[in-house]
Amino acid sequence: MDHSIPIVSALDDIYAGNLLQHGARYQALTEAFVKAYGAMPSFIARAPGRVNIIGEHIDYCGLPVFPMAIVPDCLIAVKAVGGSSVKLSNVNTKFPARQFDYRPGNIVDIDESMHDWVNYFKCGYKGALEAIAGAASPVGMLCLMDGSVPISVGLSSSSAFVCCAVMATMRANGKLLSQERVVETSVASERYIGTNGGGMDQTTSIMSQSQSAAFIEFSPMLRVTPVKFPSTTPPIVFVIANTMVESDKAVTAPTNYNLRVVETRIGALMLAKHLNILEHSACANADPLTFKTVIDEFFASSYPSDCDSLVLKWTKRLTVMLERAEALFATHPQGFTLDECAGYLGVSTGDLAVLVHTDRYPVRAARFKLLQRAQHAFSEALRVVKFRQVCESGDTSDKCFVALGDLMNQSQASCRDLFECSSPELDEVCEIARKAGSFGSRLTGAGWGGCSVHLVRQDGCDSFIAALKQEYYLKRFPELSDNDLEHVVFATAPSSGAAIYVFN
C-alpha cells in the first residue's frame, strides 16, 4: 500500500519540540520570500537529513540498513507562476541566485562538470516532471531555499535537497505522488549529477516516522519498518560529531563512493557465477545485479523464506554467503584487475562496464578489492539485523548499551579496515569518544571524513560532548566559537520524515 506525503498546517505535526525556534525560521523564510519575489509562497516543502546508525555502504547492495531522520532539514518555499521559468534563491548568500528555463525534450540542462548548487535542484526538477508526465507544460516556479543540514559531512544534505526539489516540483504542478514514488524518483534524479546511490538517504528523508528509527529493506521491494530504541533508564542518546573534514560525494565519486558501488556489483556478478546462478533469469535480468539478488536466488528453492525468524534467516544466509565469497575472492587478496574480472565472467571489459554501469558512472582503480568489500557487506548486514533484534528484544537494562555499542564499534572497524571509507580524523574522534563514555562510535554517511555518531547515556551526554570539544575540536579547530560548536557536535533524536507545509 502506498503512503501519502503529509500535508500539514501546524509545525507540531513536523517537529517534536523547539516549536518557537522552528516557527521563527519558517516566518523568516516566508518574509525573505516576499522580499525576494513580492508575493507570498503557496507552500513550503520540507525534507530532513539523516544519520545512519548502522548499515554503511550496503543499501546499494540491496541489503538492509538502520538510519533515522534528524531535525536539521531542507526547506523550499514555493509559488507556482505563469510561464515555465524557474527562479531559485537561497537564504544563505554563499549560494548565488539562479534561474533556468524548461526545455522541451530534455527538460533542463545539467552540467555535471560544474559543481553548482543549482544542479541538485535541477535533477529533482527533471526527475519529478518525468515521473508525473508533466514535462509537456510545466508551470513556472519561484523558490527560496533554507537548509540547516551541514554540507558534505555525511548527513545527507544533498539527498534532502533533491527530495525537497522533487516534492516542490510535483506539488507546484499539482501532482504530488506517494512517498514510495517520491523516493523512487529522488533516487533516480540524483543520478543526473553522477551519484550512483542505493536509496537509503532518500527513503529515510521521505518515509521516517517521529520517535523511531527505520529498518529499511530494498529488495525484493521497498519496505520500511519503524523501530523504537530500548526504553532504558537513563535513555539512549545519539551524538553527532562532525570531523570538519568535508567529503563531497559527487566530486570524489570515481575513486570513493561510486568505486565502492562498482566493486560490490562486480563482486555480485562473480559470486553468482561461482554459485552457478548467473544464468538464472533473476540474475541475468537484474540491472544491476546486487548481493541481495544473489542471496535471494541462491536460496530461492532450497531455503523457504518463512521457515525461520528474521534474525535466524539472515544469520544463516549471510554466513553461507560470506563463506562462499571468501572461497572465491581470497585467491586475490590484493584485488582483481578489470581484465581478470571480465575474464572470469567471460565478457569483454566493455560489456562489463555496461553491466556495472561504469559506462555512465566512471571509476578509477588499478584493482578491485572484491574480498574486502564482500566481507564488509555481508557482515555489516548481519550487524544491522542484530541491532534491530536488540532494539525489539524488550530488554531495557544496561546490557542494551553494551550490545548496541559493540555492534557500532564492529561496524567502524569494518568500515576502516575492509571497506576503507574511514579517515584519520574519524578514527581519532571515535577513539576519543570511547574514552569519554561512548558505548559505540562509528562513521556515518559515506565516510572519508564527515560525521561520526556515538551512543551514550543521557545522563552523561553533556560531559561527553564537553570532552569531545576539549580533546578534538579545541585542539584542531581553536578558532571555532561556542556557537559554532553547537552546530558541529550535538545530540539528536529520531525526527519525522518529509512533509508539505501549507499556510492557514
- 216-237: per-residue pLDDT in tens? 999 888 999 999 999 999 999 9
Residue 184 CB neighbour total at 10 angstroms: 20
How far is it, in rounded angstroms, from Cα 186 to Cα 159?
A: 8
How far is it, in rounded angstroms, from Cα 43 to Cα 287?
A: 38
239, 492 Cβ separation under 8 angstroms: yes
Rounded average pLDDT over 53-61? 97
Q: Considering only CA atoms, which of 503, 502, 504, 501 is closest in space to residue 14?
A: 501
Q: What is the CA radius of gyration of the chain?
A: 23
How far is it, in rounded angstroms, from Cα 21 to Cα 343?
A: 60
Q: What is the DSSP string of 314-338?
A: HHHHHHHHHHHHHHHHTT-TT-B-H
pLDDT at 117: 94
> Measuring CA to CA, how many Å separate 418 from each of 310, 371, 382?
26, 9, 15
How far is it, in rounded angstroms, from Cα 15 to Cα 4?
A: 18
Q: Considering only CA atoms, which of 248, 258, 245, 231 is closest in space to residue 401?
A: 231
pLDDT at 137: 87
Catalytic-residue membership of 201: yes
pLDDT band of 154, cuts 50, 70, 90:
confident
Residue 304 reports pLDDT greater than 70: no
374, 267 Cβ separation under 8 angstroms: yes
Q: Considering only CA atoms, which of 184, 42, 180, 37 is closest in space to residue 99?
A: 37
pLDDT band of 249, cuts 50, 70, 90:
low
Rounded average pLDDT over 359-388? 96
Residue 108 reports pLDDT greater than 60: yes
How far is it, in rounded angstroms, from Cα 192 to Cα 190?
A: 5
404, 439 Cβ separation under 8 angstroms: yes
* CA atoms 269, 377, 422, 196: torsion sign: positive
DSSP element (H, E) containing 103: none
> Measuring CA to CA, how many Å separate 499 from each of 14, 75, 126, 390, 495?
7, 10, 20, 30, 12
How far is it, in rounded angstroms, from Cα 160 to Cα 132?
A: 20
Residue 315 reports pLDDT greater than 70: yes
Q: Considering only CA atoms, which of 188, 212, 219 is closest in space to residue 202?
A: 188
Grid cell 526538477 — which residue? 125
Specify the pTM. 0.93
How far is it, in rounded angstroms, from Cα 97 to Cα 89?
A: 4
Residue 19 reports pLDDT greater than 70: yes
How far is it, in rounded angstroms, from Cα 125 to Cα 169?
A: 6
Give the pairing type, strands 499-502 and 7-8.
Answer: parallel
Q: Average pLDDT of the chain? A: 94
Grid cell 539523516 — which residue? 50
231, 82 Cβ separation under 8 angstroms: no
Give the active site residue among 59, 73, 146, 201.
Answer: 201
Grid cell digits, residue 399: 546490557
Q: Considering only CA atoms, which of 230, 254, 277, 251 is closest in space to residue 387?
A: 230
Residue 196 reports pLDDT greater than 90: no
Residue 136 reports pLDDT greater than 90: no
What are the strands, taking DSSP E only, across 411-477? 440-444, 451-457
Residue 419 phi/psi, 5° resolution?
Answer: -95, -15
Residue 248 reports pLDDT greater than 80: no
For the sheet with 140-147, list strands across it. 7-8, 499-502, 43-54, 66-81, 140-147, 85-90, 98-101
pLDDT band of 302, cuts 50, 70, 90:
low
pLDDT at 306: 54
